[in-house]
Amino acid sequence: MNKKIIIFDTTLRDGEQALQASLNVHAKIQIALALERMGIDIIEVGFPISSPGDFKSIQSISKIIKNSKICSLARCLPKDIDVAAESMQSAKNFRIHLFLGTSNLHISSKLKKNFDEIKDMAVSSIKRAKKYTDDIEFSCEDAGRTSLDNLCNIVETVISAGVNTINIPDTVGYTTPTQFKNIIDTLFHRVTNIDQAIVSVHCHNDLGMAVGNSISAVEAGARQIEGTINGLGERAGNTALEEVVMALNIHKKSLHTFTNINFKEIYKTSKIVSQFCNMPVSSNKAIVGKNAFSHSSGIHQDGVLKNRENYEIIDPISIGLNNCKLNLTSRSGRAAVEYRMKEMGYHHYDYNLNELYIDFLKLADKKGRVFDYDLEALAFFKKQQNIEEYFKLEYFDVQSKLSGLSVASIVLMCGSKINIQKSTTNNGPVDAIYQALSKATLYPILLKKFNLVANSEGEDALGKVDIVVQYKSRNFHGVGLATDIIEASAQAMVNAFNYIWKSTQVDKELEKLHK
């Protein structure tokens, strides 16, 4: 019979500890609601004794969350336990999560006690917590480095004291999957009352093994996995829940397990957490990274177009994504180019695929990545490759004041004509020069993306500005590189305007073809 794996999320507790600034109550509520929609069984919403703000946010979340169970962390101290219970009084049901160091290192150097004193602290804390709720979880902090004899001893002790869930954390990400599986196996074989509690695991990613350790623990009999969305957390982070639940789902037949997770909410929840926490998701992050379902190799693109299962073990739609993405680069094959032209509405008889592909490879080698408007230009206005840029920025000057007022003056070559423009704005120097350029080109655009990256270090570091602008419902990409941020921004916009101009020439050519 398949067994349910309980998913315990600690994004709002362990995950928040890794942020440069604490989340406000509104942000925490929005994340908690997203976690509830995703089907998280237990949401650890904070450590209430740590600050009045944490206490307040736990109170607010407790009033709102109805389907997931609320949990708060507490040290094995009377005041911690009392405050944790008070913070969750409005919750439909709640759990108190106690933790105490059990490794020799933690006991001697951090707690300054002996093992018997640790056991006494644990038992008395459990008794106090049971005055407020029957749902008690106990964590053996640094279990990964605790001797097996001591670990079995304290696990048996706290279960006898009334703990429902016993958590085995690899607090510093020390173990390998084989070692961690052996720890869980040992508990099941040596602890006589282990069947009276759920065994949980909380793994950190210091050696990049948090998800692997969690899965190996499930193989050994663990029935709760703790982690965070996007793997947020102390140092290298925690078990990434989106990864572990998808791994459980992919291998559910061999693992004989299931979860209550609503998989279609995974991608949306990841984005919400990333935005509120101001923690961008790495492009190559498993499951939710922007490249997770992108394909650049021509062989892979051809295989995916024939049958996506050739190179995808997860259907992106299953986690809330609409489609896979084919990045058009010099590694792309004819099949990808033809597919993209079809996606844009063009038929095979509208253009010559062989000629287009040859020109595409030349441009891809120069540019790195080819966009939709590039393909159109190559297919219907081949001459555009070799012509000079229509717009050239000859001169610019920007004056800014502390009041926020910025004035930009530009001299722009538009073909063979000189266009001089001036713009004033309260939105800073970059906006001022963008407004002036827009007036000069007569292209009303909407800035959709602005990204600045330092390509080197020191005072002569090059700043790369990467932008996306929208013109007539189409997106155009522009890049600028300079030691001066304003200059790099201006170059990026002129670059984008040149692509817009080339696109308008393509449209004119297409009109001629259809006449």
Q: Which residues are annotated as a binding site for Mn(2+)?
A: 14, 202, 204, 238
Q: Are 152 and 190 in contact (CB under 8 A)?
A: yes
Helix (H) or strand (E) holding 421: strand 417-425
- Show binding-site residues: 14, 202, 204, 238
Tokens linked to 232: 């947020």
Q: Are 515 and 491 in contact (CB under 8 A)?
A: no
| Selection from 477, 483, 498, 9 nearest residue 229 by Cα | 9
Number of CB atoms found within 10 A of residue 52's CB: 8
| Selection from 183, 143, 170, 293 nearest residue 233 by Cα | 170
Helix, strand, coil proportions of the chain in percent (round to 5)?
50, 20, 30
Tokens linked to 274: 């990333």
Q: What is the DSSP letter of 349?
A: G
How far apart CA 410 and CA 408 sit, in angstroms, is 7
| Selection from 54, 17, 31, 47 nearest residue 235 by Cα | 17
Burial 333-359 (b: 16+ CB within 10 A, else e): bebbbbbbbeeeebeeeebeeeebbeb
How far apart CA 362 and CA 385 sit, in angstroms, is 10
Tokens linked to 138: 């106990």
